[in-house]
Chain A
């Protein structure tokens, strides 16, 4: 019975559905956090979670069960039977960019807090409308 479940779970189709469901679940949590939370750090956390969700979705769906990491190791001497390296390169860049932007955002928030003592989104109304 357990082997049956294990066998079922190992099919590529099922893995891909699990990945989609999982990452979209994470995306949902991030989106929910973005819309409901007002504290700046919470907003940045939810943006971070949304980003990670998209990255997991991308890498998860581009992963083929049988293939190994796109690197030559002791067992693999030629570039065959390997996962597609392009998504890895893209996600690598995207993570660094995401983190740079969030770090900048946090420094804006710190400076803003120092000047005005506000750390929530709905308090941010410096400009009269």
Chain B
């Protein structure tokens, strides 16, 4: 990086502006560093002890603040079909994609099931160990990305992915509505979720179910995004 290149006025002005702004913010922050105080988190931890879910973050994400996650799924849903809207205009014609060599194809075909398995594990055991719907879904999408890279004419059939996605979306909102009817609060936990069965797969009531549904939805959406990004549509 040659230091001597001409530092134009814009970089200089922006440097000083942002430096001044950040310094003032810094001075305020340093003066009153936040002390540990009895925050909402601790009371949530106590509440969590009888939820039958090992991973406190998962219960918070899915159950206690489930509404945010619903919103977030909406954001992902809009983003994915927005990207789909934007990028499907025309697959640019140059077909001179390099033919991936054999080693890559073999390796990819070997690795694909393993990554998918890892993704499914992360998704289903979200409430017992680290991870959850989002992370699992994206890992599955990265597996799909691997297959895209390895062979030129690999593509997901749009119909299957869409069915998966709509099924997951509808069931998520349905669970919320059933919660409203049964437990008289939207996204209420209407399934039995006592502490005794901690460690079993379905021990957290609706928490694991929702996380798996989120996993399916995120997985399908992300793979759609990847497919659109790589400009592969059904016809080629």
- Describe A's contact surface by its main secondary structure: helix
How many whole Å from A89's CB to the nearest CB in chain B? 4
Q: Is B234 an interface residue (CB 8 A)?
A: no
- Inter-chain CA distance A43–B42, complex, in Å, is 39
Q: Does chain B have a CB within 8 A of A82?
A: yes
Q: B114 at interface (Cβ–Cβ under 8 A)?
A: no
**Given A71-B130, A85-B45, A89-B65, residue A20 in contact with residue B33 (CB < 8 A):** yes
CA distance A100 to B137 in the complex (A): 14
State in angstroms the CA–CA spacing of A114 and B225 once bound together. 18
Beta-carbon contact of A84 and B25 below 8 Å: no
Q: Could you list 11 examples of A-B contacts with CB < 8 Å?
A: A20-B26, A24-B22, A24-B29, A72-B198, A79-B48, A82-B56, A89-B64, A100-B80, A103-B225, A104-B86, A107-B86
A125 within 8 A of B: no
Size of the chain B interface, CB-CB below 8 angstroms = 56
Any A CB within 8 A of the CB of B1: no
Given contacts A61-B34, A86-B60, A111-B89, 7 further A-B contacts (CB under 8 A): A70-B45, A71-B130, A78-B49, A79-B49, A85-B60, A96-B76, A100-B75
Establish whether residues B33 and A16, one from each chain, have CB atoms under 8 Å apart when the complex forms: yes
B110 on the interface (CB 8 Å rule)?
no
Is there contact, CB below 8 Å, between B83 and A103?
yes
A residues engaging B (CB < 8 A)?
13, 16-17, 20-21, 24-25, 27-28, 31-32, 34-36, 61-62, 64, 70-72, 78-80, 82-90, 92-93, 96-97, 100-101, 103-104, 107-108, 110-111, 114
- Is B144 in the interface zone, CB < 8 Å from A? no
A83: chain B residues within 8 A (beta carbon): 41
B206: A residues at CB distance < 8 A: none
Given A96-B76, A111-B87: A28 in contact with B22 (beta carbons within 8 A): yes
CB contacts (< 8 Å) of A35 on chain B: these are 10, 13-14, 17-18
CB within 8 Å for A86 and B33 given contacts A21-B26, A107-B83: no
State whether A86 touches B75 (Cβ < 8 A): no
Q: Which residues of A contact B49 (CB under 8 A)?
A: 78-79
Cβ distance B24 to chain A, nearest Cβ, rounded Å: 11
B86 and A86 within 8 A (CB)? no
Contact bitstring B18-30, A, C-beta under 8 A = 1, else 0 = 1101100110011
Question: A25 to B29, alpha carbons, bound, how many Å?
Answer: 13
Q: Which residues of A contact B69 (CB under 8 A)?
A: 93
